Structure 1
Amino acid sequence: MSREMTAILATDCGSTTTKAILIEKVGEEYRQTFRGESPTTVEAPFDDVTRGVLNAIQEIEELSGRKILDGEKILTPAEEGRGVDIYVSTSSAGGGLQMMVAGVVMAMTAESAQRCALGAGAIVMDVLAGNDGRAAHEKIERIRVLRPDMILLSGGTDGGTVSHVVELAEYIRAADPKPRLGGSFKLPVIFAGNKDARGRIQEILGDRTALVMADNIRPILERENLAPARHKIHDLFLEHVMAQAPGYGVLMGWTGAPIMPTPAAVGLIMENAARAQGLNLLGVDIGGATTDVFSVVDGQFTRTVSANLGMSYSISNVLAEAGIEKIERWLADPLAEQEMRNRIKNKMIRPTTIPQTQADLALEQAVAREALRLALDQHKALAVGLKGVQQERTIADAFEQEEGGKSLIDLYRIDLIIGSGGILSHAPHRVQAMMMMIDAYQPLGLTQFAVDSIFMMPHLGVLSEVNERAATEVFLKDCLVPLGSCLAAEGRAKRGDPCFAYTIRFADGGLVQGTLRFGEILRIDLPPGAEADLQAEPSKSFDLGAGKGKAVKLQAKGGVVGLILDARGRPLALAEEESERVAQLRTWAKAVDLYPK
């Protein structure tokens, strides 16, 4: 079936906008050909998500000249330039999938439950644990007030103590939480803890909740098994949460594959693309309210969501968490503190506004650097191994496990960093997107960068479940815009001391040589599709990936920005004195042409 598909329709029902894309077979390859969008209509006055979906599809009809709808029916299969072979969709409308998780010990079963829920595409509203320091009445009140879409309850190894996880179940019963959607419907609770406790959990929660049992996510302390509970989360998301949202019952009848939560679909396409190319990648989707970070390292995938870090609704949280000084340090034209605060608060209360001046743009991009940095720090904190050596994790929840809880994100080993979200995808100049990610993530060695052109990763993620070839081809050819590569040295020295010497040989025979000094950055043209042989020899204080002072030979890939050689050192340190820092920022901006005329 997948080889015969010639036309594919996909939608992503976001919290504010429903985006539709048409994918067609052009010659022997799949390409994204047309796109339409419409305001999402899940809330009043429409209370029907299908209205927005139909409007977005009608826009594709008008642009493409292809008849797809017969009234409110999608024509399938495709034949002679009309209809489509399959329709698929993702959704984060109505706030997406909002969950609470609970475990007996915060650093063990509760953390595993959190990883499980995040991997399934959920926003984790709170993590309850027997040792989280809150009194019983505080936990009960928290459950009652948050009104999650579902709760994942874990705790206890198989055959271990029962009393602690039973206590957590009693808190849930006492709270008697009402679901966010559907007045007459019971809240789904997944129990994925000690199998010996199932009888007691059934007695406590069976009559008050829609209780479902899953295999223990920590059957023994040294092993984690997240896949069964994750599948239950997806099933309940469709059966309970989506079914209660206005219009989703009809929408589910149209689709040729189950509707997926948007973040889970984004993670899936990243995992597939990384596997297809044999890459270690890091991806970020920075939105108005949340920032999702994804990583695929040695085929192992994870996702974290920073629910308090975003560029509109949550922009004040970035200010509060990072601090005014951290944001101010990125401004080459400093603003008075009160002026900065006012502009940031205005963005929060008017989330759809866009920067009108270069000063406005510089401030937003300064905030974005801190949001990206903080979200990666949170990702690293959760991307740690268990104290054991065995694992059973799959897409959306897998990590190589190591002793000692060491983070599994090694920036030397990241081959590709992908940016998505308005501040990155719609930056006025692509070099600004690349520099935001370089400054925030501080990559090491040679790293490729790309951005999602029009945020079609969710569509491609759900499509990959039914036609992986089409999804991967469109992801690589139409979705990703290659920005280029960055070679960065780790180390510190006195400003002006030699950092590394470089020799670049281009395919046309051209040659560029030079030496970068500590504190300098250089941009070299290397267009999309081009490659160059790059040799670099660091001074004894610096490391380019082979060890301090050891030369490297690499293949640099081009992009719309080109090749960035970064000798500013790692960790990146800006001057503390304001005039010196401003001079530093202006020099760097000029070197990479950050604000082209």
Structure 2
Amino acid sequence: MSPSIIDAQSILAVEIGTVTTRAILFDVVDGQYRFIAQGSAPSTVNAPFREAGEGIHLAVNRLEEITGRTFLNLKGELILPVQSDSSGVDRLVLTYTAGPVLRVVVAGLLADVSLESARNLAATLPVQVVETLGLNDTRSLDLQMQALIAAEPDLVLLAGGSESGASRSVFKLAELISLAYRVLPPDRRPHVLYAGNQALAKKIKEGLDRTVHTLTAPNVRPSVDIEDLAPAESALSEAAANIRYAQIGGLQNWASISSALPLPGSLAFGRMIRFLSHIGDAVKGVLGVQLGSGSTTLAMGKGGNLALEVFPYSSGRGASLVLEHSALEDITQWLPMHMPDVVARDYLMQKTLHPQVIPTTNETLALELALTRQALRLSMQQMLARHPLYNLAYEPILAGGAVLTQAPQPAHALLALLDGLQPVGVTTLFLDQNELLTSLGAAAQINSLLPVQVIESGALLNLGTVICPVSDARYGTPILRARLEYERGGENVVEVRQGSLVTLPLQNGQVANLHLQPLRRVQIDPRGKPGPAKFQIVGGACGAVIDARGRPLVLPKDSARRREMIKKWSLAFGI
């Protein structure tokens, strides 16, 4: 049952990141839930503090300064619930992205069935799969046990057996895991999450609990041809939280007063994208992009189904992995100026060591945005390869992350997203300028009405409607005639040439009907009808855009021509 507005309660959402800790306040204004304010502070999970509590206190203190309200008592404790003098807050929820990458062993039966599902479940968190154990493993039992011990995992994900399916082989895997970690001291033993045949869950847990702390979850592969990860998310969140309590000082203390289990940021973000896919375009689906300091999270939702993965590429700690999986020129090709390779590489490696450093020159800003483009490109390519049923046509696309929200102008963020994601068709891009989506996903655990009303209040920044037609015409050939018919009268006609990036004269919030007339063979929207198209659009912070640069977007090999073209694209946005 949805919470009644009569019983409305204020919610404080705390996000513990690697670089920044945020305290976000949601409360009721004029009978509707609204985002009130946000306080942020440098995270203290790393040296010299190595404790999350100090960063949380600093962020809440900043929130107190902004709102003029009191949330902490004289002892520095959060006041729960709201008192008669209006101090405090009613509920607390926690999310976290801080902490080392989790080391995970995946175990299952068949490589392309339960093992694949276990990997997909693991990929919803920032993890490194350090060992794989399957039914067809040709190693001897001794070598398998040695491999399990040497892997030193934080978590073992054990899957296998469809409902009422295989049992003996699953028991053998569980016994092997128990034997391997029995020889280790208790404080070095991993946590285990079993998400296989539910008929075996009780016995598996009883057997493993004698050696390692074990949680059970619904089967991620209820039948051979069906994968369902969603029911296992709660158990995965609990397992991750238990591990993080030992890794992030102070987290468990704050969790003890939280109204819900602390959520990994990726799972909370995915929860919001799944929710939005229920109410969004059922054909295209919703794409969510979260650029963190150490990883990039992609969430594709369609009709309540969700594909969620965390990739180790970013413009912070993940910069080194972008370089590891790319040539340096894949990044520097996006620069509008010449930069020696040694200078670019040195800055990117420094960014890996010091992700909190912000760009201070036009050159370093351009380099960080170029790195963001390549991180998005790598992530999207791998995402589509693993989830071929999804494509690049979405409505809408929602993106967040400091590298985008702290860019000098919204146009910097929009252009980086277009270059990195390369969407097709007609879509609207929104920027999560206040980094709310993760917190809303956590708040939804205790108040399903709050996220709906906050999103509807316009808390996200509309960057603009983007039309990305696809044509095989030669560069410079006219392919479209766009006519904007303004709601209050008047019109504007623009001719669009292949290879161009055109911004339409539409102010933020202005409504117009857009008529598109193909002049050559062109696909305006892969999910729409061929031929002329007409639809209503609302101007965003960057107006509206027609991106006719082609898909995939290929840059000229000649460096001088390439830089001139990149400058031209930036000038189209006035940056």
TM-score by length of 2: 0.89
Deviates more, 1:257-266 or 1:557-566: 257-266
Q: Could you tell me which residue of structure 2 aligns to residue 76 of structure 1? A: 81
**2:213 corresponds to 1:210:** yes
What amino acid maps onto 2:567 in structure 1? Answer: R
Distance 1:76 1:486, change over 3 A: same
Distance 1:78 1:556, change over 3 A: farther
1:176-197 alpha-carbon deviations (Å, 9 max, x no partner) = 2999xx9647532122334677
Query: What is the DSSP-based 3-state SS (H/G/I as helix, E as strand, rest coil) of the residue aligned with 1:106?
Result: coil
Distance 1:324 1:239, change over 3 A: closer
Q: Could you tell me which residue of structure 1 aligns to residue 531 of structure 2? A: 550
Aligned partners of 2:16 and 2:519: how far apart in 1?
Answer: 52
Q: Could you tell me which residue of structure 1 aligns to residue 342 of structure 2? A: 338
Is 1:528–1:560's contact at 8 Å kept on the other side of the alignment? yes
1:469-525 alpha-carbon deviations (Å, 9 max, x no partner) = 222322343641110011111122211212111111112212111221111111124
Report the CA distance between 1:239 and its aligned residue: 5.2
Q: Could you tell me which residue of structure 1 aligns to residue 434 of structure 2? A: 454
Aligned partners of 1:467 and 1:560: how far apart in 2?
Answer: 30
**2:327 corresponds to 1:329:** no
**2:92 corresponds to 1:87:** yes
Q: Could you tell me which residue of structure 2 aligns to residue 283 of structure 1? A: 288
Q: How does 1:381-396 map to 2 (within 5 A)?
A: 381-383=385-387
5+ unaligned residues in a row in structure 1: which ranges?
A: 384-406
Q: Could you tell me which residue of structure 1 aligns to residue 115 of structure 2? A: 110
Query: What is the DSSP-based 3-state SS (H/G/I as helix, E as strand, rest coil) of the residue aligned with 1:94?
Result: coil
**2:408 corresponds to 1:428:** yes
Q: How high is the sequence identity, in percent, across the aligned residues?
A: 29
Q: Could you tell me which residue of structure 2 aligns to residue 123 of structure 1? A: 127
Is 2:280–2:286's contact at 8 Å kept on the other side of the alignment? no
Deviates more, 1:581-590 or 1:199-208: 199-208
Is 2:336–2:566's contact at 8 Å kept on the other side of the alignment? yes
TM-score by length of 1: 0.86
5+ unaligned residues in a row in structure 2: which ranges?
A: none
Q: Could you tell me which residue of structure 2 aligns to residue 391 of structure 1? A: none
Q: Could you tell me which residue of structure 1 aligns to residue 452 of structure 2? A: 472
Is 1:97–1:261's contact at 8 Å kept on the other side of the alignment? no
**2:235 corresponds to 1:219:** no
Aligned partners of 2:132 and 2:71: how far apart in 1?
Answer: 48
Report the CA distance between 1:301 and its aligned residue: 1.5
Aligned partners of 1:22 and 1:198: how far apart in 2?
Answer: 40
What amino acid maps onto 2:292 in structure 1? Answer: G
Q: Could you tell me which residue of structure 2 aligns to residue 415 of structure 1? A: 395
Distance 1:245 1:278, change over 3 A: same
Aligned partners of 2:9 and 2:161: how far apart in 1?
Answer: 50
Aligned partners of 1:484 and 1:53: how far apart in 2?
Answer: 34
Q: Could you tell me which residue of structure 1 aligns to residue 479 of structure 2? A: 499
C-alpha root-mean-square deviation of aligned residues, in Å? 3.1
**2:259 corresponds to 1:256:** yes
Query: What is the DSSP-based 3-state SS (H/G/I as helix, E as strand, rest coil) of the residue aligned with 2:513?
Result: strand
What amino acid maps onto 2:159 in structure 1? Answer: S
Report the CA distance between 1:204 and its aligned residue: 6.9
Q: Could you tell me which residue of structure 2 aligns to residue 155 of structure 1? A: 160
What amino acid maps onto 1:423 in structure 2? Answer: V
Aligned partners of 1:134 and 1:157: how far apart in 2?
Answer: 23
Is 2:398–2:430's contact at 8 Å kept on the other side of the alignment? yes
**2:363 corresponds to 1:359:** yes
Query: What is the DSSP-based 3-state SS (H/G/I as helix, E as strand, rest coil) of the residue aligned with 2:39?
Result: strand
Question: How many pairs were matched up?
Answer: 566
Q: How does 1:499-518 map to 2 (within 5 A)?
A: 499-518=479-498
Report the CA distance between 1:128 and its aligned residue: 1.5
Report the CA distance between 1:68 and its aligned residue: 2.1
Aligned partners of 1:198 and 1:548: how far apart in 2?
Answer: 50
**2:552 corresponds to 1:571:** yes
Distance 1:512 1:79, change over 3 A: farther
Q: Could you tell me which residue of structure 2 aligns to residue 36 of structure 1? A: 39
Query: What is the DSSP-based 3-state SS (H/G/I as helix, E as strand, rest coil) of the residue aligned with 1:348?
Result: helix
**2:303 corresponds to 1:292:** no
Is 1:444–1:487's contact at 8 Å kept on the other side of the alignment? yes
Aligned partners of 1:562 and 1:141: how far apart in 2?
Answer: 59
Is 2:511–2:539's contact at 8 Å kept on the other side of the alignment? yes
Is 2:238–2:261's contact at 8 Å kept on the other side of the alignment? no
Aligned partners of 2:175 and 2:153: how far apart in 1?
Answer: 17
Query: What is the DSSP-based 3-state SS (H/G/I as helix, E as strand, rest coil) of the residue aligned with 1:272?
Result: helix
Q: Could you tell me which residue of structure 2 aligns to residue 587 of structure 1? A: 568
Distance 1:213 1:314, change over 3 A: closer
Is 1:499–1:539's contact at 8 Å kept on the other side of the alignment? yes
Report the CA distance between 1:449 and its aligned residue: 0.7
Distance 1:143 1:484, change over 3 A: farther
**2:534 corresponds to 1:530:** no
